[in-house]
């Protein structure tokens, strides 16, 4: 059966694999190569499931790519040259020379004496030499993905190996359990432009909270352009990371939270801190807004009910970005219930577990006409 690599937050393995089973034909996991990184197989292969997810993305699977070749590794520094030679033979003919590409490698076995950078440089070197295609790591249109991993002996014995299998078959000899899983795919079908969906942002001077990364990632993933000099409401704003990001994008911000905002925000005249709960603010003749963001620490269903109550404070074109906190069990049930509440007043434009989400997901909503 065709194989692929799926990546998700390991705390949400169950929900990610449910999505894969639901949206593929006879999909099943083969082995967990590292927490949250799955070798899996399905009858309709990468292309079947990826095209379905292009239309309707999953929430929990962050990244996927096809396994077009499983190349045996020796575990020595010679692997890099060996991989490059094999990639040149097998993948150069498939690479579109007119489209920018990048090589994205992940090394999951810490005993291997090379780093992702070494693999990326060696493989892109031979591919560009052979095809003339340009490397563009920021905006690639096609990606050669590589995961180097060690399988457990049990998984390795169940795994269907290619002609490069270096396992010894005689009893007592060491079995090769290290492989590079390599695949070429259009970036659009990978669910993320980043290796394994790992989107890192540089820490900035003046950053208030790590939560800022969450909003930056959401604006990027959902391709949200904020209106120039728009008015935004930040529910659950303290200590003020999201408010700071919104200010950087020239929004006027009403920040609602009973807790204090970071003192560095105090002198900004374009921030109004309402030191109260969102419920109190709603009863306090609130304004109208272009955007409401909500990162309140609150049960997802209660938060959805509050957003329904706040729909009247959004302009007709208004948008919402919010998180659903999913701490314990019954997470799928909670998501289904909370989204059904939101649908009373909103269209759900996107729902994803972002790299910077911990025990939560992020939703992007538009007010219903």
Binding site for ligand SAM (CB under 6 A): 208-209, 211-212, 235-242, 256-259, 277-279, 295-298
**Backbone dihedral angles phi then psi of residue 145, each to the nearest 5 degrees:** -100, 140
* Catalytic pick among 269, 325, 333, 367: 325
Nearer to ligand SAM, 214 or 331 (CB): 214
Q: Shortest gap between Cβ of 317 and ligand SAM (angstroms)?
A: 23
Q: Shortest gap between Cβ of 103 and ligand SAM (angstroms)?
A: 34
d(CA 79, CA 270) in angstroms, rounded, equals 56
Q: Shortest gap between Cβ of 278 and ligand SAM (angstroms)?
A: 4
The number of beta carbons lying within 10 Å of the beta carbon of residue 54 is 12
CA distances from 61 to 13, 33, 148, 266, 334 (A): 9, 15, 20, 40, 18
Take residue 113 and report the two structure tokens written for it.
Answer: 């004496």
Q: Shortest gap between Cβ of 260 and ligand SAM (angstroms)?
A: 9
Q: Shortest gap between Cβ of 302 and ligand SAM (angstroms)?
A: 8
d(CA 126, CA 81) in angstroms, rounded, equals 10
Rounding to the nearest 10 degrees, give the CA dihedral for residues 15, 20, 23, 26.
Answer: -130
Nearer to ligand SAM, 105 or 323 (CB): 323
d(CA 268, CA 250) in angstroms, rounded, equals 12
Nearer to ligand SAM, 257 or 290 (CB): 257
Q: Shortest gap between Cβ of 315 and ligand SAM (angstroms)?
A: 22
Nearer to ligand SAM, 80 or 278 (CB): 278
Nearer to ligand SAM, 194 or 281 (CB): 281
Query: Measuring CA to CA, which residue among 221, 227, 258, 264 is closest to residue 243?
Result: 264
Nearer to ligand SAM, 148 or 261 (CB): 261
User: Is-catalytic flag, 269?
Assistant: no
List the end-to-end C-alpha distance of the chain, in Å, as a whole number.
45
Name, in order, each residue with C-beta under 8 angstroms of 119's C-beta and a sequence gap of 6 or more. 80, 83, 103, 105, 107, 146, 148
- Residues 314, 289: contact at Cβ < 8 Å? yes
Catalytic residues: 325
């Amino acid at each position: 059966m065709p194989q692929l690599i799926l990546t998700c937050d390991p705390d949400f393995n169950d929900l990610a694999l449910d999505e894969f089973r639901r949206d593929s034909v006879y999909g099943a996991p083969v082995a967990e190569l590292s927490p949250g990184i799955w070798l899996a197989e399905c009858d309709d292969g990468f292309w079947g499931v990826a095209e379905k997810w292009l239309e309707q993305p999953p929430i929990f699977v962050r990244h996927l790519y096809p396994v077009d070749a499983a190349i045996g590794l020796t575990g020595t520094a010679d692997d890099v040259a060996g991989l490059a030679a094999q990639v040149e033979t097998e993948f150069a003919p498939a690479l579109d020379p007119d489209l920018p590409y990048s090589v994205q490698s992940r090394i999951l076995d810490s005993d291997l004496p090379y780093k992702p950078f070494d693999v990326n440089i060696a493989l892109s070197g031979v591919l560009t030499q052979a095809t003339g295609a340009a490397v563009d790591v920021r905006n690639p249109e096609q990606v050669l993905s590589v995961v180097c991993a060690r399988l457990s002996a049990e998984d390795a014995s169940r795994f269907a190996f290619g002609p490069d299998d270096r396992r010894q078959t005689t009893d007592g000899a060491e079995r090769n359990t290290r492989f590079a899983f390599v695949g070429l795919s259009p970036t659009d079908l990978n669910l993320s432009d980043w290796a394994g969906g790992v989107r890192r942002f540089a820490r900035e001077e003046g950053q208030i909270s790590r939560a800022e990364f969450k909003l930056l990632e959401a604006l990027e993933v959902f391709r949200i352009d904020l209106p120039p000099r728009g008015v935004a409401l930040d529910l659950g704003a303290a200590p003020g990371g999201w408010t700071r990001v919104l200010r950087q994008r020239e929004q006027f911000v009403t920040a609602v939270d009973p807790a204090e905002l970071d003192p560095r925000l105090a002198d900004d005249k374009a921030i109004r801190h309402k030191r109260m709960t969102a419920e109190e603010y709603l009863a306090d003749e609130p304004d109208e807004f272009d955007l409401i963001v909500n990162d309140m620490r609150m049960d997802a269903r209660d938060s959805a009910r509050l957003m329904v109550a706040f729909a009247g404070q959004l302009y007709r074109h208004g948008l919402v970005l919010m998180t659903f906190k999913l701490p314990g069990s019954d997470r799928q049930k909670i998501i289904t219930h909370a989204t059904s509440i939101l649908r009373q007043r909103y269209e759900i434009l996107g729902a994803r577990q972002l790299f910077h989400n911990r025990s939560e997901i992020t939703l992007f909503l538009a007010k219903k006409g």
